[in-house]
Amino acid sequence: MTAATPDSPAPKCPFSHGVQPPAANGCPVSARAAAFDPFSDGYQQDPPEYVRWSREQEPVFYSPQLGYWVVTRYDDIKAIFRDNLTFSPTIALEKITPTGPEANAVLASYGYAMNRTLVNEDEPAHMPRRRALMEPFTPEQLRHHEPLVRKLAREYVDRFIDDGKADLVDQMLWEVPLTVALHFLGVPEEDMDLLRQYSIAHTVNTWGRPKPDEQVAVAHAVGNFWQLAGRILDKMREDPSRPGWMQYGIRKQKALPEVVTDSYLHSMMMAGIVAAHETTANASANAIKLLLQHPDAWREICEDPALIPNAVEECLRHNGSVAAWRRLVTRDTEVGGLPIAAGSKLLIVTSSANHDEAHFADADLFDIRRDNAADQLTFGYGSHQCMGKNLARMEMQIFLEELTRRLPHMRLSQQAFTYLPNTSFRGPEHLWVEWDPLKNPERARPALLAQQSPVRIGEPSGQAISRPVVVQSITRAADGIARLRLASPDGKPMPRWSPGSHIDVDCGDTGLSRQYSLCGDPAETGVFEIAVLREPEAAAARRGSTTTSGPATA
């Protein structure tokens, strides 16, 4: 198999039909592999569930429909991200559905010349550019954007809070991240509807399957988007001293002209407008939908905003906005024990990896206290991990804080959720919610509007996550040793654990904190059991409420 080039046709079947007779589909692949269609409604609605069979039975398979090898397990995908020499990102922005000559001619007429960006470039070019452009993404710099995010979230909720219903996507979750993205990039705020149209066209053009009669219209939108990005960049060059990531790049170009080139800046301008807002908008919509589908979790973050950072992480794991990425194999290698030839294309389904039971116990369970939720691969991993991940986390935290404080009684409206058909980026096109405006808490407590919770920049620490438990029983295990059974107050299952795991126990307001190894039967999911040695000088343990952190593997 030869190396693929951008917009080339899907490669031919990699199997030798002379070795074994072809199946009914024409390839010696399983029926499910032959039927795999990432543009189907099943994949769009729930990618991890759609490929569950693959995670469990065939974690690496060839898709004749797509012309890609598909990878679905956590360890395999993380290894691919880790080795960006063998698994090149160069096809990450390649059109997954090659377009016809008419659409290609339209793009050419606009001078469309999308080049490498941080997403799809190889070494040795990638890391020098990443290092040169990283400073605006540091926690210290990102904090400068927090007041704007809070102001916008407040203003947009103000617009509909007395209406009793809203489409959160149309009325908040698309425009606020777009405004923040433009502010971060230093882009003047252009017409929102136009930019939304261009952004959708870019997604369809790159990761979708536009029909032949749609390709020309999409190409015109993408071409106009390209020219708009160029005009904005030219205007920025007139005064590069202004704030913004693109102006920062223009200033860096003077010091590092061979690293930050003209073509690179133009491509990053266009890609940045999409990347900086679309994934955050979708991730926010997915998170709110997921939390409202789990009323107990929604109630918990309403009552305790300190849970929001880890809830964001679990939402990104369980139902993130990035379903899959793509890689090009540069040399003969193996993935999941299968030989893969140089030139092969990979679709790595990160959303499936996030539901891999081998890494996330009870992976389908939505648990906002999950201690390894931050291991999610929604932002990628390694040298190509999303640079804007912490800006996205900040926005999601603030959106959830604003909505849980002001609309804790909000609920999902009855609706059918639809998604823009594509392989990689997903979020509901609409998210209708409703509530009783007469029950808005701020009507009775106006001071509530002044409250705000501190935003965590970066991923939360698993060690900082607490879980309330009650002492279910105490029995004597030996002289001076008591055996305690700890259970969830609401009777729900406790996290799965394995021998060698431990928990930290904080005893309410007593100030006592101790670490204990878990004992008992790991198959008994309703309780944690610990053995406690009596210390005469310590305060006597009391039956009642306590919290645990973990379990973390010792």
pLDDT of residue 192: 63
**Stretch 386-398: mean pLDDT, rounded?**
94
Instruction: Tell me, yes or no, whether 82 lies in a domain.
Output: no
Residues 509, 543 within the same domain: yes
Residue 480 is assigned to a structural domain of this protein: yes
% of residues, the chain, pLDDT over 70: 90
Angular region, 287: left φ>0, alpha ψ -120 to 50, beta rest: alpha
Do residues 416 and 478 both lie within one domain?
Answer: no
Is it the case that residue 27 has pLDDT exceeding 60?
no
Residue 80, pLDDT score: 97
427 and 544 assigned to the same domain = no
Q: What is the pLDDT of residue 473?
A: 85
- Examine the domain organization and report whether 436 and 491 are in the same domain: no
Which of 450, 476, 510 is the C-terminal boundary of a domain? 450
Confidence grade of residue 190 (pLDDT, cut at 50, 70, 90): low
Sign of the CA dihedral running 483, 489, 494, 500:
negative
**Which residue from 272, 233, 262 is spatially nearest to 93, judged by alpha carbons?**
272
Determine the average pLDDT of the residues in 302-319: 96
Same domain flag for 437 and 475: no
What is the total count of domains within the chain?
2
535 within domain boundaries: yes
The answer to whether residues 201 and 332 belong to one domain is: yes
**Which percentage of the chain shows pLDDT scores above 90?**
51
Q: Are residues 426 and 482 in the same domain?
A: no
Closest CA to 459 of 106, 139, 62: 139
Domain coverage including residue 543: 465-553
Phi-psi region of 220 (alpha: psi -120 to 50; beta: other; left: phi over 0): alpha
Task: Give domain status of residue 220, yes or no.
Answer: yes
Are 279 and 388 found together in one domain? yes
pLDDT at 540: 47
Last residue of a domain, one of 397, 417, 450: 450
Return the CATH number at 344.
1.10.630.10
**DSSP letter string, 508-546:** GGG--EEEEE-BS-TT-TTEEEEEEE--TTSPPP-SSEE
Which pair of structure tokens corresponds to residue 395?
């926005």
Residue 326's CB is within 10 A of a number of other CB atoms, namely 22
**Would residue 234 count as lying in a domain?**
yes
Write the secondary structure of 219-278 as one string of H (helix), E (strand) and C (coil).
HHHHHHHHHHHHHHHHHHHHCCCCCCHHHHHHHHHHHCCCCCCHHHHHHHHHHHHHHCCH
413 and 308, same structural domain? yes
- In a domain, residue 29? The reply is no
Tell me phi and psi for residue 78, to 5 degrees: -65, -40
Choice between 549 and 138, residue whose per-residue pLDDT is larger: 138
> First CA to last CA across the chain, in angstroms?
46
Residues 362 and 506 grouped into a single domain: no
Domain identity same for 279 and 314: yes
pLDDT band at 552 (very low <50, low <70, confident <90, very high): very low
Please give the residue that has the higher pLDDT: either 44 or 523.
44
Q: Are residues 414 and 475 in the same domain?
A: no
Domain assignment present for 50: no
Q: What is the pLDDT of residue 15?
A: 63
Segment 411-420, tens digit of pLDDT = 999 999 999 8
**Measured distance CA(472)–CA(149) in Å, rounded:** 44
From 424, 450, 476, the end of a domain falls on: 450
5 has a pLDDT exceeding 50: no
Band (pLDDT 50/70/90 cuts) for residue 528 is confident
For the segment 199-252, what is each residue's pLDDT rounded down to a tens digit? 888 888 887 888 888 899 989 988 998 998 888 899 899 999 999 999 999 999
* pLDDT reading at 164 higher than 70: yes
Assigned domain for 18 exists: no
User: Which of 15-24, 79-88, 90-99 shows the lowest per-residue confidence on average (mean pLDDT)?
Assistant: 15-24
Helices 212-238 and 245-255, packing angle to 10 deg? 70
User: What is the band of 451 on the pLDDT scale with cuts at 50, 70, 90?
Assistant: confident
Q: pLDDT at position 17, please?
A: 47
Domain containing residue 530: CATH number: 2.40.30.10
Phi, psi of 95 (to 5 degrees): -65, 120
pLDDT of residue 113: 84
